[in-house]
Amino acid sequence: MTQRSETARVFFQDLSARAKLRVTGADRFRFLNGQITNDLRKANETVAMEACVLNAKGKLNAQIFIAALGESLLIDAEPELRETLRARLERYVIADDVQIEDVTDEFSLFHVLTEEPPALDSGRIVSARRFAATGWDIWSDPARHDAVRNELASAYLFIDSAAADVMRIEQGLPRWGRELTDEIIPIEANLEQRTIDYEKGCYIGREVISRIKMSGQTNKRLCGLISLNNTPLQPGMKLVAPSASGKEAGWITSATRSQRLGKEIALGYVKRGFNNPATNLEARSLDPVGAIPVEVVSLPFP
């Protein structure tokens, strides 16, 4: 492998804990394409595609990545979706020749954020856009987990989940269990460009998504928030209008200290009428911190 460049912004993550499903059977493509928001034709042996799985009301059941592997399709998602995602997909397998297997423990999964694909002695490499830039997923035999990790560490910087979460927040990317829940519609989380293909055929929840696209309006939208007095923000804080009425304007979902920006920042859902950039709000909690003045900003953070 190439020598590590201290000036290059290249790193790798260990995503082996993510839930992994394998979809097989003659009807696998048609079936799965009818369950997801993106066009499955974008996924192949070398490119992973991001998509959402919705319910009939257009709300999220999962955010996933899909790649092809021979006569099968591989899905990966957050670990907490391991059981619920498989059950959700199997619910719609009626007369289809489709089998869905849990293969979480059959693969190790790493992600490398670099423009060029990593040169590894083993492992299957797939292009995947998990952050704001193209990166590479490495699928390998779990028996070689430590060997692959050591090989990657010889060329790239390892970042743990905490550091990756800071970067995720800075880039304005939603995460399952934080910004993404079964009460959120993908458009509200700014997932249109990453996960929705408006030209594809029918899928569960499509009517709601199409209706929102036609109206051009959502009740709330995921926004960036900056603490104006440098007081740390916290998930769960309510956002209110800084007026005597104190009208509720939304809530915070993720928060961190950004060393790059030198500021306390957060992601949160802000209701229509309050989510224009440069709008001033207050973040409030029940503890003695009281009201924290915040400014709404566009994502990703500047």
pLDDT digits 0-9 by tens, 125-145? 999 999 999 999 999 999 999
Number of neighbouring beta carbons within 10 Å of residue 233: 25
Q: What is the pLDDT of residue 10?
A: 86
- The CA distance from 267 to 157, in Å, is 26
Does the pLDDT value for residue 8 go beyond 80? no
Residue with tokens 């021979």: 70
Q: What is the pLDDT of residue 113?
A: 96
pLDDT > 70: percent of the chain: 95
Q: Read off the pLDDT band of 302 (50, 70, 90).
A: confident
Q: Do residues 141 and 41 touch, judged by C-beta distance below 8 A?
A: no
Does the pLDDT value for residue 3 go beyond 60? no
Helix (H, G, I), strand (E, B) or coil at 262: coil
Task: Kindly report the pTM of this predicted structure.
Answer: 0.93
27-36, 171-180, 275-284, 289-298: segment of lowest average pLDDT: 289-298
Q: How many helices (H) and strands (E) are present in the chain, helices listed first? A: 6, 16
Distances (CA, A) of 91 to 2, 87, 99: 47, 6, 12
